[in-house]
């Protein structure tokens, strides 16, 4: 009989140990799940930020798209992939994300594409960014009068696309409610 009690006690202790480990794991997962994609990124937890932002991006979060753009273009927590980063920035731009507009403007300046940079800096200014003003002025100095007119025409096209995206999002919200 003492052997049976010893065996039961051993199983009970083992069960308590695994229950405790499970609870700790569950609490740890929930703590990370409650952290926002932005806070994980700002804390330098890039792999966790990537996972969280990837989920948030499926819900069309412009902030998540922007951070994914940052992660990919800088190779933070993921393999560096400029094309993927630019793609995420563009998705955020369609949701009128100022940070992505500035990031794309800077990207195009770094590649001597002042026409494109002018468009994105102009969008950012239209959305209230004073930071973009000096960048836009620098890009503008590198454009001919004809290029400047093209930039303004493209800007109107991009604004129309952003407005279309806004309407689509509104419809989706109406349907989901």
* % the chain with pLDDT above 90: 68
Distance CA(161)–CA(123), nearest Å, equals: 12
Range of the domain at 140: 98-177
Residue 74 in any domain: the answer is: yes
**CA nearest neighbour of 38 among 73, 7, 65, 8:** 65
Are 109 and 164 in the same domain? yes
Are 76 and 107 in the same domain? no
Predicted confidence (pLDDT) per residue in 159-169, tens digit: 999 899 889 88
Q: What is the pTM of this model?
A: 0.76
Q: Which of 25-38 are b and which e, b meaning 16 or more Cβ less than 10 Å from the residue's Cβ? A: eeeeeeeeeeebbb
Are 69 and 116 in the same domain? no
Residue 65's pLDDT is 96
Are 103 and 177 in the same domain? yes
Predicted confidence (pLDDT) per residue in 35-94, tens digit: 899 999 999 999 999 999 999 999 889 999 999 999 999 999 999 999 999 999 999 998
């Amino acid at each position: 009989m003492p052997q049976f009690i010893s065996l039961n006690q051993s199983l009970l202790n083992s069960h308590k140990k695994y229950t405790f480990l499970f609870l700790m794991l569950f609490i740890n997962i929930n703590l990370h799940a409650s952290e926002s994609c932005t806070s994980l990124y700002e804390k330098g937890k890039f792999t966790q930020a990537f996972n969280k932002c990837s989920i948030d991006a499926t819900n069309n979060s412009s902030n998540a798209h922007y951070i994914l753009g940052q992660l990919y273009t800088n190779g933070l927590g993921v393999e560096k992939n400029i094309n993927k980063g630019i793609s995420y920035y563009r998705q955020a731009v369609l949701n009128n994300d100022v940070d992505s507009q500035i990031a794309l403007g800077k990207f195009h300046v770094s590649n001597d594409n002042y026409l494109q940079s002018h468009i994105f800096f102009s969008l950012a200014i239209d959305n209230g960014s004073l930071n973009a003003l000096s960048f836009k002025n620098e890009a503008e100095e590198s454009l001919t009068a004809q290029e400047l007119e093209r930039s303004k025409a493209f800007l109107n096209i991009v604004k129309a696309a952003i407005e279309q995206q806004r309407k689509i999002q509104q419809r989706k919200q109406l349907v989901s409610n």
